[in-house]
């Protein structure tokens, strides 16, 4: 069948809107008519080839839509169901079996290879393969193929066009706080970088009982928004020493920090801002090979922890509906992060995101 999609054909080049041929679903796959899909920092990383992924490729890994057809072995969803699309895990490795799907041994192959796990491609143009299966969805398209494992059924009474970002960026930020760090009631948290991921961490912090919540970002509009969405303090890192300011605000250091920028100097600040026995969660994506210098003696003497967190340690089938219920109750207003664009305006959306003009761009698909 035909799908209209945004394609990146060479490193750093603009996305082009093209008509592609999409395979029929295999036995374990779900055909989704995409309503909208978020634009994430990782999509820009792939366009600019900071990760070794093949081109040409259709990106998009925060899709939401309506199930059109399912493979013969699919039982989780049926045609007509509303779904949000997330990451894929293999389901069979030791980590998946241990309940750690975000650390699947085949995570890269499942989400970044541009291929199904059997090595086939889902998309083509005039008989030439186009890499799809990005996060097992490639949802910057009017139709997308996902695996049964990475679709999450969502309620029909919530605006479907809002829900795509729950499948990656928003669940990453919120899940890092709620699923991984699990701060103690009354504790302090500092979030470095309040784009959509960091802002989601800020919104999650009051829900788990944090009482001192510091948002660190050079963008004044984002600092103001963070204060409206749960932060108790906002710090401009260029106006002084953010480490010292956090120490003053928290009485000696934050018990938890979240690094959401992927910038090595900022990661060092996030670690240095910790109190003794504090924990820093690294969730910002950096180019492969990026390194940071850490004071080993200070880490040892203070008992600090630095850990990487993927997708907020979220199980999408469980966590996405939980976030939706919090949204319904008015306790997790992630809709305030969203700015909508038409698919045809994908390059403007990417530029606005890169320059900090918007927090979470979401691409609306044309009528299929």
The candidate with the shortest Cα–Cα distance to 33, out of 133, 158, 139, 125, is 139
Backbone angles phi, psi at 16, to 5 degrees: -120, 145
pLDDT of residue 52: 86
- Tens digits of per-residue pLDDT, 245-287? 999 999 999 999 999 999 999 999 999 999 999 999 999 999 9
Stretch 226-244: mean pLDDT, rounded? 98
What integer best gives the mean pLDDT of the chain? Answer: 97
- Tens digits of per-residue pLDDT, 91-145? 999 999 999 999 999 999 999 999 999 999 999 999 999 999 999 999 999 999 9
Cβ atoms of 59 and 40 closer than 8 Å:
no
The candidate with the shortest Cα–Cα distance to 59, out of 34, 89, 27, 26, is 34
pLDDT-derived band at 368, boundaries 50, 70, 90 = low
Backbone angles phi, psi at 312, to 5 degrees: 65, 25
For residue 222, what are its two tokens?
A: 């984002």
What the chain holds in terms of domains, given with CATH numbers, is 2-167+333-364 (3.90.180.10), 172-310 (3.40.50.720)
**Percent of all residues in the chain with a pLDDT value above 70, rounded to a whole number:** 100
**Among all chains, which residue has been given the structure tokens 């959306």?**
349
Angstrom distance (rounded) from CA 266 to CA 306: 13
The candidate with the shortest Cα–Cα distance to 254, out of 241, 269, 240, 239, is 269
Angstrom distance (rounded) from CA 63 to CA 163: 8
For the whole prediction, is pTM greater than 0.75? Answer: yes
């Amino acid at each position: 069948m035909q799908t209209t999609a945004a394609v990146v054909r060479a490193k750093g080049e603009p996305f082009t809107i093209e008509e592609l041929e999409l395979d029929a679903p295999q036995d374990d796959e779900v055909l989704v008519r995409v309503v909208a899909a978020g634009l994430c920092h990782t999509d820009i990383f792939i366009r600019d080839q900071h990760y070794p992924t093949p081109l040409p490729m259709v990106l998009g890994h925060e899709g939401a839509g309506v199930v059109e057809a399912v493979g013969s072995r699919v039982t989780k969803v049926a045609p007509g169901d509303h779904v949000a699309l997330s990451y894929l895990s293999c389901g069979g490795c030791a980590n998946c079996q241990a309940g750690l799907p975000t650390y699947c041994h085949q995570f890269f192959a499942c989400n970044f290879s541009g291929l199904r796990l059997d090595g086939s491609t889902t998309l083509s143009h005039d008989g030439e393969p186009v890499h799809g299966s990005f996060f097992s969805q490639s949802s910057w398209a009017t139709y997308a193929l996902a695996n049964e494992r990475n679709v999450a059924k969502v309620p029909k009474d919530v605006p479907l066009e809002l829900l795509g970002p729950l499948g990656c960026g928003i669940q990453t930020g919120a899940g890092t706080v709620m699923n991984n760090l699990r701060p103690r009631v009354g504790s302090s948290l500092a979030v470095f970088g309040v784009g959509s991921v960091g802002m989601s961490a800020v919104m999650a912090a009051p829900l788990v009982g944090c009482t001192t919540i510091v948002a660190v970002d050079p963008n004044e509009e984002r600092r103001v928004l963070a204060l409206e969405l749960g932060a108790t303090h906002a710090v401009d890192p260029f106006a002084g020493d953010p480490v010292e300011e956090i120490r003053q605000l928290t009485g000696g250091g934050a018990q938890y920090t979240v690094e959401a920028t992927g910038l090595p100097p900022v990661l060092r600040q996030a670690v240095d801002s910790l109190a003794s026995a504090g924990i820093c969660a690294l969730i910002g994506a950096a180019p492969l090979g990026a390194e940071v210098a850490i004071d080993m003696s200070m880490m040892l003497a203070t008992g600090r922890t630095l850990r990487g967190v993927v997708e907020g340690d979220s199980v999408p089938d469980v966590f996405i509906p939980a976030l939706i219920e919090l949204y319904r109750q008015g306790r997790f207003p992630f809709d305030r992060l969203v700015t909508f664009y038409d698919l045809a305006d994908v390059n403007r959306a990417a530029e606005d995101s890169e320059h900090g003009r918007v927090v979470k761009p979401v691409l609306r698909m044309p009528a299929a």
